[in-house]
Chain A
Amino acid sequence: MTEALVLALVGLPMVAAIPAWWSRGVVAVGLAWAAFGGAAAAGVALAVAVLAGGPVSAFGGTVVVDALGAYVLLVILAVAGLALGGSPRYVGHEIASGALHPPDEGRYYALFLTFVASLVAVPLFDNLGLLWVAIEATTIVSALLVGITRTPEAIEAAWKYLVLGTVGVGFALLATILAYASSVGVLGESSDALAWTRLVSIAPALDPGLMRLAFVFALAGYGTKVGLVPFHTWLPDAHSQAPSPVSAVLSGASLAAALYALVRFYLVAVGTLGPQMPATLLVALGLLSLAVALPFMVAQEDLKRLLAYSSVEHMGLLALGIGFGGPVAIAGVILHVGLHGLLKAGLFLAAGELVQQYGTRRLARIRGGLRDAPEASGALAVGILLLAGLPPSGIFITEFAIVVGGVLRGYGPAAAIAALLLALSFVAVAFHGFRLLWGRPVPGITIRRPGRTTLAWLAVPLVAAAIVGVWVPAPLADVLASVGSILGVRGG
């Protein structure tokens, strides 16, 4: 049963991508939805089985999904579903405006499906080596999506993404090799020696010298994919140049998948080295990311780059929370990953709508939206406020939990600096949102108002994120507890 679910989850999108490549219009969209729907159903069934009955394994232990993997899987599927929902209107507009060649419509959906297949593979493997293969595959496939419009800027962004992503992930491969070398002495020469289930349980027996190097390289390598400063330089380019639904997946799902890879390494490293060194590195890079992202958000002139730097900020916050450890901060981190994914998906869809209707990404030229484009600009403003942590949104609670968790664990100064940076970034994005809604309207602008379906896609993530802020449903609370027990095994 588990085998069939895993095959449907990864296989359906990959197989459907082949006919989708040569199809157009309704056929392409239909194929994408059929394949994604099947995969999502399988993924949800798998996740429910894990969350209800504990870890499942398949294919002789190559696939193991625990609560952490199941949760990341659900986040990826939710974000990808929202992005796919926003795709037809976006792609249709791009083709109508000549930004995308008509044959690229099928290619868009084919690549989108392949990207999703590579992403959902990440939390499935019980093997640091195959995990690496899946992460590298996400980079390669999404590089094709980033540059699909073939404008000079898109080609530049895709090239940088490909080159910097490959160097980064190359370091992660080195980390994987070092981890393998540290464990073959204990587990023998087989791919078992890279199974994180085994590595976590024998972590104290691993070679600390090799493991220390391995974690540093994993942090640089997967940290590049997560977008932690100073390895983030590709991120604003790729996330701003990609088609907006793809930006949503890159930001909401792909960053979460990379963070998942880093966390698997982190759990092994903490087991071998103790929490001191790995946690300090995460806290340092997390604070650095928060501090560096802030000025770029304040002075930002490009709507999608604003959202991209906000991703750097939020990934920094997550690294910080994982470094803090302890039940409070970890609960905040887990919920935050899901909320950030949902909100970023909604925000990039709304931003894509505004960018297309106003014909520019420049914030200064997208003004007075409340009069001319109330739906998209309203969704964007609400999303920005929720994401920035306006009480009582879910993000306010998760950020509060991470900061308080840091104080409880004796990271008082780091937590105080983080709280200050978060407050400043709130002011920065509130300013941008204010101008976007109430600024002097752009003269002579004609906006094609979105239909009811588009509105629903914009509203779903916002409503979900707002609800979690005031009420955490019991099943979600259980999920948070079981994921937390995996992350907190040694950190708590």
Chain B
Amino acid sequence: MDPAAAARLIDACAAGIVVMGILIAGTRSIGRSIWLVAGESLLIGVVGVGVGVATGAPHLVFGGLLAGLTKGLVVPVILGRILRQSPVRTERHPYLGPRVTLVVAIVIAFAAVATVDGAALGGRLVAPQALPAAVAEILTGLLIAMTRRKGLSIIVGLLVFENGVALTAFSLTYGMPLVIELGIVFDLLIAIAVVWVYARRMLTVFGSMSTDELRSLRG
């Protein structure tokens, strides 16, 4: 068992994940954002496998492989299929332009590093330095989901948010127990299937997946 190596791996991957989150915040291309979020999810899988090997925990290796496979491969492929069916593949008029969003995401990252102190939280964290990265990733995901108009971009934002939550789990406790990991992945897969169903309905009924069409329900 080598906790120091595990902590170094989590920290390194956390840095990569935050950089990719910032890049997603700064791109107009929905296709690129899907592949970036797939890269993030693969890194989450790498963290799981790496930590599992370093600490001799087979359930983490299995959980990491499962998360990498579903979130890094299956989900992006489905999102890519939806994208190919949509007429519009870029975020043309987001509520906040990609350059501004990029700057905000960078500010979030620095603010998180400056304010979030992993050591202050109980002192038993396995990778305290990854905690600010996880918080920054969660906020970046919410930022993306709130400032974009296209359904797919919003889903990408939610996936970034979800990766931030997963990173939090690794930073605090080496990830979750396997049963729960299985449940989370299971829910995620059905959720993406439901997104697929509604993406097709939106394309049929509205001709696009822009949330501009969704403003008839008020009060």
Contact = CB atoms under 8 A, between A and B. Distances in A.
Contact of B191 (A140, A184, A299): A140
A185 B165 contact: no
A299 B219 contact: yes
Contacts of B125: 181
B145 A163 contact: yes
Contacts of A155: 198, 201-202, 205-206, 214
Contact of B201 (A133, A147, A181): A147
A191 B158 contact: no
A432 B64 CA distance: 55
B187 A152 contact: no
Contacts of A167: 142, 145, 158, 161
B216 interface: yes
Contacts of B179: 62, 127, 129-130, 191
Contact of A305 (B180, B216, B219): B219
Nearest to A191: B177
A177 B217 CA distance: 35
Nearest to A157: B217
Contacts of B151: 159
Interface residues of A, number: 57
Q: What is the interface of chain B mostly: helix, strand, loop, or mixed?
A: helix
A207 B122 CA distance: 6
A272 B145 CA distance: 34
Interface residues of B, number: 46
Contact of B202 (A159, A181, A184, A190): A159
Contact of B214 (A150, A156, A207): A156
Contacts of A158: 198
A230 B219 CA distance: 14
Contact of A177 (B122, B172, B194, B201): B172
Contact of A190 (B165, B177, B184, B186): B177
A461 B55 CA distance: 56
A330 interface: no
Given A156-B214, A185-B124, A209-B120, A129 B219 contact: no
Nearest to B199: A159
B189 to A, nearest CB: 10
A424 B179 CA distance: 48
Interface string B165-178: 10011001110111
A189 B172 CA distance: 12
A180 B165 contact: no
B145 to A, nearest CB: 7
B135 to A, nearest CB: 10
Given A130-B180, A147-B201, A194-B177, A177 B195 contact: no
B173 A147 contact: no
Contact of A129 (B138, B177, B217): B177
B176 A180 contact: yes
B104 to A, nearest CB: 18
B122 A185 contact: yes
Contacts of A130: 179-180, 183
B190 interface: yes
Given A140-B190, A178-B172, A173 B219 contact: no
B78 interface: no
B111 interface: no
B121 interface: yes
A174 B171 CA distance: 12
Interface string A172-204: 011011101110110001110110000000000
Contacts of B201: 147, 150, 155
Nearest to A213: B121
Q: Which of B120, B125, B198 has the most C-beta atoms of chain A within 10 angstroms of its own C-beta?
A: B198
A153 interface: yes
B187 to A, nearest CB: 4
B91 interface: no
Nearest to B59: A189
Contact of A144 (B142, B154, B194, B211): B194
Q: Which of B162, B211, B213, B217 has the most C-beta atoms of chain A within 10 angstroms of its own C-beta?
A: B217
Contacts of A140: 187, 190-191, 194
A189 B173 contact: yes
A143 B197 CA distance: 11
Contacts of A160: 214, 217
A237 B216 CA distance: 10
Nearest to B215: A156
12 contacts: A129-B180, A130-B179, A130-B183, A132-B180, A132-B183, A159-B198, A167-B142, A167-B145, A170-B165, A181-B121, A189-B174, A296-B219
Interface of B: 120-122, 124-125, 138, 142, 145, 151, 154-155, 158, 161-162, 165, 168-169, 172-174, 176-180, 183-184, 186-187, 190-191, 194-195, 197-198, 201-202, 205-206, 211, 213-217, 219
The 9 closest A-B pairs by CB, nearest first: A133-B183, A129-B180, A181-B172, A191-B177, A207-B122, A156-B214, A136-B187, A237-B217, A177-B169
Given A140-B194, A141-B190, A236-B217, 20 more contacts: A127-B180, A129-B179, A132-B180, A132-B183, A133-B187, A150-B205, A156-B213, A162-B194, A162-B195, A163-B145, A167-B158, A170-B158, A174-B138, A174-B168, A176-B180, A191-B180, A194-B177, A209-B122, A210-B172, A237-B217
Interface of A: 62, 127, 129-130, 132-133, 136-137, 140-141, 143-144, 147, 150-153, 155-160, 162-163, 166-167, 170, 173-174, 176-178, 180-182, 184-185, 189-191, 193-194, 207, 209-210, 213, 236-237, 240-241, 296, 299-302, 305
